[in-house]
Structure 1
């Protein structure tokens, strides 16, 4: 059967002058149609796929007009690595165009040996494009090599790129976009938030809960450029790295603490990540914007926003952080925030009853714990009763913790609900006692968060909610404490955590 088509699979982010000459020579004898199978068509804004499909399609159509080639452009969505990639592409073409491409009517133009062999197994003849040995040395620059020159600021890319690409890139400002995506953000060299944190236990605790946290947010993650701000030792990004749907995404971790940042770098060096576009940066998010405007598809934050509230200027710092997230999010992008939170009605008074028989009850809290070795601090606090530990927490806490003992009952105190939960959710962190005493978990309740996000311009997804960690209630709170209203009626344990799914509107 006479050749009718040239199937040209590839990402096609950039078209070259060489491709124009080569394809013209390939189709001229038979007057064939070039079928451009644009792979990873559902990915953009990443190092692997910096140019969105609709811009790639525009450049191909412009290329076809300028070269006089008859073309069909077909999007091929990304799939997990498979030996059936050629079959998937052929079926995508059939669905989109109604054409059945066979070895009898089609030549496959492909310079990637691993892909070419898949079509050869199906009986197709391969035109090797830039890999054609008859072209001699040096071989023509491949499109990705030209795109790399562009990203590096080497203006010789224009000598190799086809005018169709140059035109589309100029009209839609894609040169700046490619360079932004391909190049690293400027990274500062600040230290950790607190000098008293035991990072070993911190890393272990976060790693233990990483699978649960990832399962909580994974369905909200939008592929593309995915940033975990305050990534710790990279446990969440390790799980994201295993998601087939995210294999074309850039996975970027931002961490301030030197110990944690170095652990991330170590993991990457040891091969913990299969995605080559996993990167880590050391930066203080309180210092301002980390990424350029409208450049991030998904931002993840876990157990971070309460630290910004605590170590910064509370509302002002958190408002600035939320604005920075909004500014660097692409229209339609998402910020997923998982953290502790204050209970609804955090300022209402409650009566908190605490166990006095589970440890020592000194007449007054101890001062000067910061002068002791960390192990001695942990041992001393762990030896206090739950009630005495409240007095010690109030002594060491950087924020006001108002409470009044109930006359005639040393086990009971009256205090605001938010303050009570602030203590109860931290009382067992003896290994990092002085570090935890620098933070406030219950500064904001759900209504505060909704107002803050709306003020920045975010739309709040219906998936946003507060919830209670029942394991903490069952194992840490209920055995040693109870809550009642001011009039003595029992009060159920309130929410302890929040999940916020905030989207930047498409029309912004």
Structure 2
């Protein structure tokens, strides 16, 4: 096409272009250029650009690689791309229907047609039929993952060279086999990241003060670093001036914030590096390379969004990465030791402003939740909690001296009280399990892999939560006999532990 002209080429409608003039340049618009390490876009921009430039050497005309960042589903995507190309080339290239032919096989072609551009269909057969000469790029990618014998034969030599040199076939296999991460590389699609980022910054000082006495200088990793707030605080401590910091974050939105903060100069130590990697599927650091690894509020997410085997693999990977004498500092929620014990729960019901209205009668689900009393919100929780995972929260009610109590397992009421006030991220929180292991069960699992648990490790109760979220809303009781009647005594039961600081040494 490049060497022979375009006069006989058929456009997307099956009509000859009738353009005898040969192309003077080719522009490769690399869409979703700000995405990488996802199933849709496994390669970063620089590797895609390397392949294109390698491939373009055979074309004998100038070629330009232009990054187009993702703007989501937009009817203005075509016009945005044209403007982005103009800006990225410092106004050197201005594309118009008079000087440009667009190559596209997807429905995005319609957006360019609306702007007056002529479109060549590439893989698509010209005309109205929905048929194709060859696989679309995403189908080729899936074929590679499925290891079809002939899949690599369809790839250009420039593609094969780069994929082999950088071990990308193995990387893509890993991305597609990982059930924990979605197509866009996030744990959950229902999280409000604006709220989440604010919460992470607000508790960063607490995490720092709690963990800094046990942190060892050297190569320090922070897995699930969110927006880098913990690393930022540690960098301010003179003891760690000579240390190197490696933050790992899989969520694309948070990773970009980390990179922006680094560019803004927010980290006092210049040796701060961020990686967008999945710490569940394999090692994120070389074996025997890290003096300290920090995780906070992460391990429960692996259990919640993945499964037990993935959590155990995560623990083993951290053991492999640490040097002998290194420490994994894991700060997270934890279940009570007697979590299977049945308790009787009183819940307040006078704060309700709901007049029997369902969620659809409110501006937002958050507003609906906040109209409910503690007891009413519990019933919504019972309906929603890990519903997609098949969990059933069983309760029964009983009257004692005319007061209603609800009987359930201690772990179930602990799950509720730990989440009842997360009205901003309710749908996301409903997937998360906090009480799957007690502190002693955590110790057993870590010791079975080879860790030694520091005596400074401990489970504790967040007293701020007790004072501000639990008291006056919930009361816990044990029965004086196994199956109390109306006249039976109920013995007050204190709120159990909520969090742990686990110091696992190698």
Q: Fold-level match, TM-score > 0.5?
A: yes
Runs of 4 or more consecutive aligned structure 1 residues displaced over 4 Å after TM superposition: 185-190, 360-364, 407-411
Structure with the bigger RCO (C-alpha within 8 Å, sep 6+) is 1
Q: Structure 1 residue 491 and structure 2 residue 477: aligned?
A: no
Partner of 1:91: none
Judging changes above 3 Å, is the alpha-carbon distance between structure 1 residues 206 and 355 closer, same or farther for their aligned structure 2 residues?
Answer: same
Q: Measure the CA separation in 1 of the matches of 2:339 and 2:189.
A: 30
Q: Structure 1 residue 329 and structure 2 residue 317: aligned?
A: no
Q: Give the gaps of 5 or more residues in structure 1.
A: 1-184
Q: Measure the CA separation in 1 of the matches of 2:291 and 2:476.
A: 42
Matches within 5 A, 1:38-437: 191-313=185-307, 315-360=308-353, 376-398=364-386, 399-407=391-399, 411-437=404-430
Partner of 2:61: none
1:252 CA displacement: 1.0
1:190 CA displacement: 5.3
Partner of 1:122: none
Deviates more, 1:283-292 or 1:441-450: 283-292
Deviates more, 1:331-340 or 1:202-211: 202-211
Contact 2:457 2:502 in 1 (8 A): yes
Match of 2:462 among 469, 474, 491: 469
Deviations 1:430-489 (A, max 9, x none): 000001001011111011101110011000000000000001000100121110113310
Contact 2:232 2:268 in 1 (8 A): no
1:384 CA displacement: 0.9
Deviations 1:16-40 (A, max 9, x none): xxxxxxxxxxxxxxxxxxxxxxxxx
Deviations 1:360-391 (A, max 9, x none): 56779x6xx7x999x71111111111001111
Q: Measure the CA separation in 1 of the matches of 2:314 and 2:496.
A: 27
Match of 2:503 among 491, 501, 504: 501
1:284 CA displacement: 2.1
Structure with greater helix share of residues: 1
Deviations 1:84-136 (A, max 9, x none): xxxxxxxxxxxxxxxxxxxxxxxxxxxxxxxxxxxxxxxxxxxxxxxxxxxxx
TM-score, length-scaled by structure 2: 0.59
Q: Measure the CA separation in 1 of the matches of 2:372 and 2:450.
A: 46
Judging changes above 3 Å, is the alpha-carbon distance between structure 1 residues 402 and 286 closer, same or farther for their aligned structure 2 residues?
Answer: farther
Contact 1:352 1:483 in 2 (8 A): yes
Q: Measure the CA separation in 2 of the matches of 1:423 and 1:404.
A: 16
1:302 CA displacement: 0.5
Deviates more, 1:434-443 or 1:375-384: 375-384
Q: Secondary structure at the match of 2:447?
A: helix
Q: Measure the CA separation in 1 of the matches of 2:330 and 2:355.
A: 40
Q: How many residues align?
A: 314
Partner of 1:127: none
Deviations 1:374-423 (A, max 9, x none): x7111111111100111111111113322222257675211111111110
Q: Give the gaps of 5 or more residues in structure 2.
A: 1-170, 176-182, 481-489
Contact 2:300 2:333 in 1 (8 A): yes
Q: Measure the CA separation in 2 of the matches of 1:190 and 1:218.
A: 34
Contact 1:190 1:284 in 2 (8 A): no
1:273 CA displacement: 0.9
1:358 CA displacement: 1.1
Q: Secondary structure at the match of 2:425?
A: helix
Q: Measure the CA separation in 2 of the matches of 1:500 and 1:462.
A: 9
Contact 2:354 2:371 in 1 (8 A): no
Partner of 1:174: none
Q: Secondary structure at the match of 2:419?
A: coil
Q: Secondary structure at the match of 1:280?
A: strand
Q: Measure the CA separation in 1 of the matches of 2:474 and 2:434.
A: 18
RMSD: 2.3
Contact 1:355 1:411 in 2 (8 A): no
Q: Secondary structure at the match of 1:287?
A: coil
Q: Measure the CA separation in 2 of the matches of 1:284 and 1:298.
A: 18
1:286 CA displacement: 2.3
Contact 1:357 1:385 in 2 (8 A): yes
Deviations 1:221-274 (A, max 9, x none): 111110110001111000011011111111111111111111101100101012
Q: Secondary structure at the match of 2:326?
A: strand
